[in-house]
Amino acid sequence: MSIKIEHLTHIYMEGSPFASTAISDINLEINDGEFIGLIGHTGCGKSTLIQHLNGLLKPTSGTIRIDGIDIASMGRDLKKVRQKVGLVFQYPEYQLFEETVYKDIAFGPKNLGLPDDEIDARVREAMDLVGLDEKKVGERSPFELSGGQRRRVAIAGVLAMKPEVLILDEPAAGLDPRGKHEILSQVKMLHEKYGLTIVLVSHSMEDVAKLVQRIIVMNSGKVVFDSTPKEVFSHAKELEDMGLDIPQITKLMKELTLRGMDVPEDVYTIEQAKEILLDRIRGR
């Protein structure tokens, strides 16, 4: 399923003295099966952009087409869009409200009017996808779980709707290192094993570098870079001027180059650096 964005602009409180342009003339295409990282400093327009992708916000101007259909023309059929494009907000566990994990994940499918056996199948499948044991936690209150587990319950609730695109706004925010690793590993698995199209919003250059295939960089409501991690992170000075950074491992490799070591500078994951440095130590 493709998403095509053309000349998208959103102005909050348009026509008032407090009007503010959040995003301006955005042109993007998200293709089936891609894993995209969306980065930019706070207030650059990332959240505004992703809320347009499933119809939570309406464009001031421009179009968003899902599989060739302009979602602005769908009226009340936006429920169909929200089934196809699942959005997980930052700190989604704050939106948990049912008395058990099972009921919380079942909430979305139940509102679709699905039969009980289909709801049950979806809940069990979604729990399995995020690594939760239905027998162990299904009847527990979500508020008895760890932060990482609650985050997975929230993601499972979106997956139970069977979206074709999953948008995650800072899914590891506020988690301890173990919880962060668990969540990001599950996200990576969803893409690799099930081919789910994923848009990951993150402030962590390290997380983006090791997970995604394509990076979109936003600044002041506009897209300024849209390319591979290797290409985007080659613009270190421009990123720093925008209040962003490059992965720490990339900084290390640049420093080693300055000190005379024959290593490439365009390395952005620990795994890449480890292989290269071991080869140099072994004299290859």
Q: Domains of the chain (ranges plus CATH)?
A: 3-228 (3.40.50.300)
Is the pLDDT at 78 greater than 80? The verdict is: no
Q: Which two tokens stand for residue 26?
A: 């955005």
Is the pLDDT at 17 greater than 90? The verdict is: yes
Instruction: Supply the pLDDT for residue 147.
Output: 84
Is the pLDDT at 283 greater than 80? The verdict is: no
Instruction: Supply the pLDDT for residue 95.
Output: 79
**Cα–Cα separations (whole angstroms), residue 227 to 33, 184, 278, 284:** 16, 21, 29, 31
Q: Which residues, 6+ apart, have CB-to-CB distance to 255 below 8 Å?
A: none
Q: What is the 3-state secondary structure (H, E, C) of the chain?
A: CCEEEEEEEEEECCCCCCCEEEEEEEEEEECCCCEEEEECCCCCCHHHHHHHCCCCCCCCEEEEEECCEEHHHCHHHHHHHHHHEEEECCCHHHHCCCCCHHHHHHHHHHHCCCCHHHHHHHHHHHHHHCCCCHHHHCCCCHHHCCHHHHHHHHHHHHHCCCCCEEEEECCCCCCCHHHHHHHHHHHHHHHHHHCCEEEEECCCHHHHHHHCCEEEEEECCEEEEEECHHHHCCCHHHHHHCCCCCCHHHHHHHHHHHCCCCCCCCCCCHHHHHHHHHHHHCCC
Instruction: Supply the pLDDT for residue 102.
Output: 95
Instruction: Supply the pLDDT for residue 92.
Output: 77
Instruction: Supply the pLDDT for residue 126.
Output: 94
Separation between Cα atoms, residue 93 and residue 98, nearest integer Å: 11
**Cα–Cα separations (whole angstroms), residue 261 to 109, 252, 270, 273:** 57, 11, 17, 13
Q: What is the mean pLDDT of residues 84-108?
A: 89
Instruction: Supply the pLDDT for residue 284.
Output: 61
Instruction: Supply the pLDDT for residue 254.
Output: 86
Q: What is the mean pLDDT of residues 204-218?
A: 92
Q: Which two tokens stand for residue 174?
A: 């506020």
pLDDT range class, residue 76, cuts 50, 70, 90: low
What residue type is 147 in one-letter code? G
pLDDT range class, residue 69, cuts 50, 70, 90: confident
Taking only the tens place, the pLDDT of each residue in 122-177 is: 999 999 999 899 899 999 999 888 888 888 999 999 999 999 999 999 988 888 88
Q: What is the mean pLDDT of residues 167-192?
A: 89
pLDDT range class, residue 22, cuts 50, 70, 90: very high
Q: Nearest 5°: CA angle at 279, between 276 and 284?
A: 130
Is the pLDDT at 60 greater than 70? The verdict is: yes
Percent of the chain at pLDDT > 90 equals 53
Query: Scanning the structure block, which residue is given the tokens 């959040």?
Result: 22
Q: How far is residue 109 CA from its own chain's centroid?
A: 22
Is the pLDDT at 67 greater than 90? The verdict is: no
Instruction: Supply the pLDDT for residue 212.
Output: 95
What residue type is 145 in one-letter code? L
Q: What's the whole-number average pLDDT of the chain?
A: 90
Query: With the C-alpha atoms ordered 145, 136, 151, 116, is the resulting torsion angle positive or negative?
Result: negative
Task: Report the predicted TM-score, pTM, of the whole model to 2 decimal places.
Answer: 0.89
